[in-house]
């Protein structure tokens, strides 16, 4: 009969095994805790973006403009969203509001939803159907685009919704697959610049000549890149028409 100690879960641990088990337990707990600490410390700060349910439902009126991603230029605001502001919109989940906004291009519309906010960037997640976006009475002022020239920028292409606060982190490689799915669902893409451009850190990014972000650019989402393109100011929003052929991944 072997004298080798044998562990049985519902019986007291045999003497010779106690030291071994105790050492393994301590090393395992300390090791896993240490590994968790190291991995957490290696992560980038996810930033301050968040859903602002504490603001309550926001309802404002403005002009719908397709850039081709729908933008609202506010004409009649409220306590938080002022006239003259321009912001992007999204639907619930990984969906944009293109199908609802397209019939209202250039018209006055009332939008209603919850704010996603990250610093200077904010967007509205609209309520479902006509409750979120519907035509409003009145004359729509004409929004004149202001060309700002061709720029070379460095930074990262993200999906606007997650970046603004729907996900944490809402940018970076860990978020790449989610960002691509959001963009495929027509959520507006946002370029985060390394340094402010004409006073703005966040720019709506599109393809050239009013087209959507080209599919070729999707491979570079969440990577740090440099690229060139024309910037146009629409309302108080900067729109960067990225030239995909000029994209270069930085070190």
Partner 1 sequence: MDVATALVMAMQTWGIVGALVAAVFLTIGIDRIDEDVRGAYIFRPLLIPGVLLIWPLVLWRWWQIETERAAWADRYRPVRASYGLAVVLMSLGIIAVVIAGLSVRQSWPADIAPVQLSEGAGQ
Would you tell me which residues interact with partner 1 (CB under 8 A)? 39, 42, 146-155, 173, 193-197, 219, 223-224, 226, 228, 230-232, 249-251
Which of residues 24 and 135 has its CB atom nearest to partner 1 in the complex? Answer: 24
Least distance in angstroms from the C-beta of 228 to partner 1: 6
Least distance in angstroms from the C-beta of 175 to partner 1: 14
- CA distances, 146 to each of 143, 237, 238, 240 (Å): 9, 10, 9, 12
- CA distances, 221 to each of 192, 243, 248 (Å): 11, 14, 12
Least distance in angstroms from the C-beta of 39 to partner 1: 8
Query: 23: exposed, middle or buried (C-beta count within 10 Å: 0-12, 13-18, 19+)?
Result: exposed
Which of residues 82 and 152 has its CB atom nearest to partner 1 in the complex? Answer: 152
User: Could you tell me the sign of the dihedral formed by the alpha carbons of 6, 12, 16, 21, in that order?
Assistant: positive
Closest to 155 measured CA to CA, from 205, 120, 119 = 205
Give CA–CA dist 43/27, Å, rounded: 24
Least distance in angstroms from the C-beta of 77 to partner 1: 26
Phi (first) and psi of residue 22, to 5 degrees = -65, -45
- CA distances, 97 to each of 64, 91, 187, 217, 220 (Å): 11, 6, 8, 21, 24
Which of residues 102 and 216 has its CB atom nearest to partner 1 in the complex? Answer: 216
Query: 206: exposed, middle or buried (C-beta count within 10 Å: 0-12, 13-18, 19+)?
Result: buried
Which of residues 131 and 223 has its CB atom nearest to partner 1 in the complex? Answer: 223
Least distance in angstroms from the C-beta of 118 to partner 1: 16
Least distance in angstroms from the C-beta of 56 to partner 1: 35
Which of residues 76 and 243 has its CB atom nearest to partner 1 in the complex? Answer: 243
CB 220 within 8 A of CB 192: no
Which of residues 51 and 218 has its CB atom nearest to partner 1 in the complex? Answer: 218
């Amino acid at each position: 009969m072997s004298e080798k100690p044998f562990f049985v879960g519902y019986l007291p641990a045999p003497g010779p095994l106690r030291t071994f088990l105790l050492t393994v337990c301590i090393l395992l707990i300390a090791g896993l805790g240490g590994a968790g600490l190291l991995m957490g410390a290696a992560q980038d700060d996810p930033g301050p973006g968040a859903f602002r349910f504490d603001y309550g439902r926001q309802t404002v009126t403005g002009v719908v403009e397709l850039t081709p991603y729908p933008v609202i230029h506010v004409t009649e605001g409220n306590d938080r969203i002022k006239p003259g502001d321009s912001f992007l919109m999204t639907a619930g989940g990984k969906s944009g509001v293109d199908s609802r906004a397209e019939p209202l291009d250039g018209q006055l519309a009332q939008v209603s939803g919850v704010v996603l906010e990250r610093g200077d960037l904010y967007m509205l997640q609209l309520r479902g159907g006509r409750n979120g976006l519907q035509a409003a009475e009145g004359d729509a002022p004409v929004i004149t685009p202001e060309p700002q020239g061709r720029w070379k920028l460095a930074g990262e292409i993200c999906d606007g919704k997650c970046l603004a606060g729907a996900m944490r982190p809402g940018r970076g490689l860990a978020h790449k697959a989610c960002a691509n799915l959001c963009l495929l669902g027509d959520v507006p893409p946002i370029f985060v610049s390394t340094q402010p451009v004409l006073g703005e850190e966040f720019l709506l990014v599109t393809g050239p000549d009013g087209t959507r972000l080209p599919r070729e650019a999707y491979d570079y989402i969440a990577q740090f890149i440099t690229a060139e393109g024309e910037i146009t100011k629409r309302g108080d929003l900067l729109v960067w028409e990225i030239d995909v052929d000029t994209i270069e991944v930085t070190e």
